[in-house]
Amino acid sequence: MQADHPVFAKIFAPINRRWGTWRGLVRTVMAQLQLATGGLDDFKLRQPEGIRRVVFVCRGNICRSSFAHQLATSYGLPAASLGLKTKTGVRSPAAAVEAAARAGIDMDLHRATDLKDFEVKPGDLFLVMEPGQAIELRERLGGRQDVSISLLGLWCPVSMPHLHDPFSLGGDYFDTVFMRIDQAVCALVRELRRSAQVGRNEALAA
C-alpha cells in the first residue's frame, strides 16, 4: 500500500495537523522525555530580571522566529530574531506570511538575519525553537556569560520544548504552531514584565 493511499492520508491527517509530520511527533516526544529527565535544565530561565532584549531563534528565521519576533514587538517588547543557517535578507514564504496574517501579525517586511550578521548584546535572552538548536547556539556563542538561552516552548500552557518547523508544511500546521508560539510569547511577556517591575528594567516593563 502506497504512502499516499487514502487510508494512510486519513491516519496521518491529525498527526500532520498537530505535529507537522510523524517526525515532528517523534521529535516532540523525545524533547518531552529530555525535559522530564532533566536533560534540558540548562535551558530554563533563572534570572529573568536581567533580560534586556528577547531574540527568537530557529533555523531559517523565516517562519517560527520571524513570527515570534513580530508578535513580541507588537506587545512592545524589545525583540529581534535570527537564523542559525540562513541567508540574510531572505523573505518569509507566502505560507508563513498568510498564516501570520490569519493570526493578526504582518510579516510582509520581515527579512532573515543569519547569526554571523547579528550583533549579540549583553542581556539578550535567546529563545530557541528546538533543543538541538539551543545546543548549537550555545556552542556558537562560545560560552558567553552575559546572555541567556532558553526554549520558547517552555512557556506554552503545556511545556513544548520542540516546536516543529512548519516550512513547506500545510496551512493547518502553520496555524497550530503559530498558535503555540502566540501562547508562549504571551506568557513570556507577562513573566518578563513582572520581573522588570521588580528589577526596575524600564525597557521591558513598558
pLDDT tens readout for residues 25-34: 999 999 999 9
**Lowest-confidence pick of 14-18, 90-94, 123-127:** 14-18
Q: What's CA 36's distance to the chain center, in Å?
A: 20
What the block records as the C-alpha cell of 133 is 538548536
Going along 43-185, which residue ranges are E strands? 53-58, 79-83, 124-128, 148-151
The string of pLDDT tens digits covering residues 1-46 is 334 445 445 666 777 788 778 898 999 999 999 999 999 999 999 8
Q: How confident is the model at residue 197 (pLDDT cuts 50, 70, 90)?
A: low
The string of pLDDT tens digits covering residues 133-167 is 999 999 999 978 899 999 999 999 999 999 999 99
In terms of DSSP bridges, do strands 79-83 and 124-128 run parallel, antiparallel, or are they unpaired? unpaired
Q: Looking at the chain, how many residues does it have?
A: 206
Sign of CA dihedral 137, 149, 114, 172: positive
> Structure pTM?
0.90
Specify the pLDDT at position 200.
58
